[in-house]
Amino acid sequence: MPISRSTGLIVAAAAALVLLPNLGGPPLWDDDEPRNAACSVAMHASGDWIVPTFNGRLRVEKPALINWLHLAGFAVAGVNETGARLASAMLTIGTCVLTAMVAASVCRPDVGIWAGLVMATCLWTGVSGRAATPDAALAFCTTLALWLFVRGGRRPLPDGTGWRDAPVQLSGRSAALIGAACGMALLAKGPVGLALPLGGLALFAVWQALRDPGRTGPLALRLVRGWSDAARGLRMPVIVLAAAMTAAPWYAAVTISTDGEWLRQFFFVHNVGRFAAPMEGHSGPALLYYPIVLLVGMFPWSMASALVVGHAATTSRTTVGMRLMTAWILAWVVPFSLSGTKLPGYVWPAYPAIATAVGLFIADWIRLPTWSTDRWMRVAWCSLAASGVALTVGLPIVAGHIAPGSEWLGLIGLLPMAGACAAWASQTLGSRIAASSVWAATATATVGLLLACGPAAVAHVGGSRQLISSLPSAVASPVPIASLKVPASAVFYAGRIATQGTVQELSDPTAAATFVAENPGAHLVINARFEEQVSSVLPDHYGVLRTAASFPTAREVLLIGPKPAERLATMPQEQPR
């Protein structure tokens, strides 16, 4: 059953409260955001929407969809942080509404609103939904594919709720639409955009086929027959063909334009290589990494995680919708748990299914409460209060070390404590729907304030944006700028005012002398650990103009240029009229 208009508006409003306030306040964070944004700016300047480049060299890490979305954001909000993040936020709002639609279709309408609110107000939705990265586009496209599957393959029960327990059978049109959505996901992040959604749907289809009471014989034979029936029911060739037709034009164009270099490096280095071994220090234990990531990412809804897991395990035996959600979660979490490279955002496309499991638990607790569940929900409220205490104590300590003056962020921790008390009181008065509503309001306010205020408060003490900001007001722009071992954000912000929009990357400290000799009045952005070597080869009138710490890597970066007196002397003089 589809969600009502009011449900969609409530979910969209909650997501907007978490995602949109102060969206462009914090600077672009190292390293993916500025790399993606700088690539998009280069596309805009060159008019080449095919080949991604960063600071004049080929960028092979991501396909081009994120850059096209940035260009749309730049057209609306300007070439700035808001423009770079706007598309991610809007797509994430859409993902939250799609989550509500999926949950309402596979379960009940009341599950839909809770699932949508959980998805909209959990911590990782706020983090990734406010980032200028491809993760939001991937989550939207894959959730769209999931909803199209539900819409095309769902067989409602006579009362209009739930899903009839029957083998999967898609129409050709539904399979083509699912394939098109996966094709867009291919343009967002590569092969995972097709392989993992299709794997989740196939796992569910095989599961359904094996439950057919008419199937007998050895398990191995049943699995083979189940897979064959699943492939036919899903119309896999149609899905794959539609995905290829959607994504192939750009992949073919970039392959031709780069003589195959982009495709080789993207596929073998950033897909096969990342799966085979850790890259850039991103690794973790196979069995523990993503369970911990999901507990943190689902905050503050993870307070009842044990209850949700138990409820999902029970309902998946009898409810078709929960079997689909379980298959979808496994399709994302298991492969990335086996991957050598691990990052929290890799499993974000699984969050809509997790949110549906949480939403079903909440809706069932409201409808059919039990003494045992009520007792354990008291533990959940205590855990919520404890998380508030941790924020109240921990945030000022962290802020005092990295951003003195931002200790007031600890006040945000009062919200979970107050919410826990209100939810406890509501449950005591017998209103479980009020307790759940308080939970949702607490999640919206806590996550929304953390992300609207926290990054901006921390960034005010420095960062690459502040390091470069004084340059245009002091010297003629554009100016020659070179960099040495600095974060991508420093390259992005310096590149916006540099000659020809690029920052020359120095191979070693001694190259700084050559650059300055060839470009009088040039400036350098360098890693602080090279200060002594660079200073020793520069003219005497050069010195450190400003220092800043990059976020969140905390690497100290220096801006080096002519000292103020010399700089003013070399500035172009205004011609007499």
Q: What is the pLDDT of residues 445-469, one digit of tens each?
A: 999 999 999 988 877 666 788 888 7
> Average pLDDT in the 206-234 region?
74
Q: 575 in a domain, yes or no?
A: no
Q: Which residue would you say has higher pLDDT here, 307 or 490?
A: 307
The model's pLDDT over 493-552, given as tens digits with 9 standing for 90+, comes to: 887 777 667 788 898 989 999 999 998 888 999 999 999 999 999 998 899 988 887 766
- Is residue 200 located within the same domain as residue 258? yes
Residue 577 has pLDDT above 50, yes or no: no
Q: 576 in a domain, yes or no?
A: no
- Is residue 129 located within the same domain as residue 147? yes
> 155-169, 251-265, 266-280, 315-329: which has the highest mean pLDDT?
251-265
> Average pLDDT in the 317-341 region?
92
Domain with residue 532: its CATH number is 3.40.190
Structural domain including 364 reads 5-368
- Cα distances from 542 to residues 100, 212, 486, 538, in angstroms, run 59, 78, 19, 6
- Is residue 418 located within the same domain as residue 274? no
- Is residue 402 located within the same domain as residue 542? no
Number of neighbouring beta carbons within 10 Å of residue 257: 14
Q: Which residue would you say has higher pLDDT here, 112 or 281?
A: 112
| Domain end position, chosen among 314, 345, 368 | 368
| Domain end position, chosen among 434, 459, 484 | 459
Backbone angles phi, psi at 560, to 5 degrees: -115, 135
Residue 575 has pLDDT above 60, yes or no: no
Residue 474 has pLDDT above 50, yes or no: no
> Average pLDDT in the 138-144 region?
98
Distance CA 577, CA 571 (A): 18
Sequence-ordered list of residues with C-beta below 8 angstroms from that of 17, at least 6 positions apart, any chain: 444, 448
Distance CA 111, CA 115 (A): 6
- Is residue 480 located within the same domain as residue 403? no
Distance CA 190, CA 138 (A): 9
- Is residue 224 located within the same domain as residue 340? yes
Preceding amide of 508 cis, omega within 30: no
Q: 577 in a domain, yes or no?
A: no
Return the SS3 of 548.
Answer: strand
- Sign of the C-alpha dihedral, residues 13, 14, 20, 21? positive
- What pLDDT score does 571 carry? 45
Q: 441 in a domain, yes or no?
A: yes
Q: Which residues pair with 380 in a beta bridge?
A: none
- Is residue 111 located within the same domain as residue 124? yes
Mean pLDDT, all residues of the chain = 88
> Average pLDDT in the 145-168 region?
73
- What pLDDT score does 1 carry? 59
Distance CA 74, CA 286 (A): 39
Q: Give the DSSP H or E segment for 223.
A: helix 219-234
Count of the separate structural domains present in the chain = 3
The model's pLDDT over 175-192, given as tens digits with 9 standing for 90+, comes to: 999 999 999 999 999 999
- Is residue 320 located within the same domain as residue 393? no
- Is residue 269 located within the same domain as residue 394? no
| Domain end position, chosen among 314, 344, 368 | 368
3-state SS of 514-535 is HHHHHCCCCEEEEEHHHHHHHH
- Is residue 533 located within the same domain as residue 515? yes
Contact 107, 315 (CB under 8 A): no
Instruction: Look up residue 174 and give its amino acid.
Output: S
- Is residue 317 located within the same domain as residue 433? no
The alpha carbon of residue 429 and the mean position of all alpha carbons in its chain are separated, in whole angstroms, by: 39
- Is residue 432 located within the same domain as residue 347? no
> Average pLDDT in the 469-494 region?
75
**Percent of the chain whose predicted confidence (pLDDT) is above 90:** 62
- What pLDDT score does 140 carry? 98
